[in-house]
A = this chain, B = another copy of it.
Amino acid sequence: MNSKAVFYHAGCSVCVSAEQKLLNIINPEINLEIVHLGERKEEIAEAEKIGVKSVPALVMDNTVLHINFGASLNEVKKS
Among candidates B60, B67, B69, residue contacting A25 with C-beta atoms closer than 8 Å: B60
CA distance A22 to B65 in the complex (A): 8
| Number of residues of chain A lying within 8 A (CB) of chain B | 21
Question: Can you list 19 A-B pairs, Cβ within 8 angstroms, ordered by A?
Answer: A3-B24, A3-B25, A17-B63, A18-B63, A18-B65, A21-B60, A21-B61, A21-B63, A22-B60, A24-B60, A25-B26, A25-B60, A26-B27, A27-B27, A27-B28, A65-B67, A65-B68, A66-B67, A67-B67
* Known A22-B58, A25-B27, A25-B60; 19 more pairs at CB < 8 Å: A3-B24, A5-B25, A17-B63, A18-B63, A18-B65, A21-B60, A21-B61, A21-B65, A22-B60, A22-B65, A24-B60, A25-B26, A25-B30, A26-B27, A27-B27, A27-B28, A65-B68, A66-B68, A66-B69
